C-alpha cells in the first residue's frame, strides 16, 4: 500500500527535527508508551510470578501495541488519502 514516497519519510522527518526541534505542543508518543508500561507492569507483576517471564511478556505486549496502533492509524489514513497518510507517517517519525 505504501508507495515510493515512503522512502523519503525518514529523511524528511529528520530534516524537520533539525529545523523545528521537538514539537512541544504535541504530546510525545514515548510518554504514552511509558504510561502503558507503567500500567501493564503492575498487571504482569501481579499475574506472572517469574519476573523474567513477566518482563518478556510486557516487552512483547508493548511492542505489539505500539506497532499495531501505528500500523492501523497509518493504514487507515493511507486508505483515506495517500497524501494525508504520508504526511502522518512523516509526522509520527518526526515526533
Task: Parse the chain into domains and list their residue ranges.
Answer: 4-94
Report pLDDT digits (tens) over 2-52. Answer: 555 578 899 999 999 999 988 788 888 899 999 999 999 999 999 998 999
pLDDT of residue 2: 52
CB 89 within 8 A of CB 8: no
pLDDT of residue 55: 94
CA distance 95 to 61: 22
Q: DSSP letters along 20-75, please?
A: H---TTS--HHHHHHHHHHHHHHHHHHH-SSHHHHHHHHHHHHHHHHHHHHHHHHH
Tell me, yes or no, if the pTM score tops 0.85.
Answer: no
In the predicted structure, residue 1 carries a pLDDT above the cut 70: no
CA distance 33 to 52: 20
pLDDT of residue 72: 95
pLDDT of residue 5: 57
Amino acid at each position: 500500500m505504501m508507495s515510493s514516497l515512503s522512502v523519503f519519510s525518514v529523511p524528511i522527518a529528520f530534516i524537520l527535527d533539525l529545523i523545528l526541534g521537538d514539537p512541544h505542543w504535541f504530546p510525545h508518543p514515548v510518554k504514552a508508551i511509558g504510561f502503558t508500561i507503567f500500567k501493564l507492569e503492575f498487571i504482569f507483576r501481579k499475574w506472572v510470578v517469574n519476573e523474567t517471564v513477566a518482563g518478556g511478556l510486557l516487552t512483547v505486549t508493548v511492542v505489539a501495541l505500539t506497532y499495531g496502533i501505528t500500523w492501523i492509524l497509518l493504514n487507515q489514513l493511507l486508505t483515506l488519502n495517500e497524501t494525508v497518510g504520508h504526511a502522518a507517517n512523516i509526522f509520527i517519525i518526526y515526533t
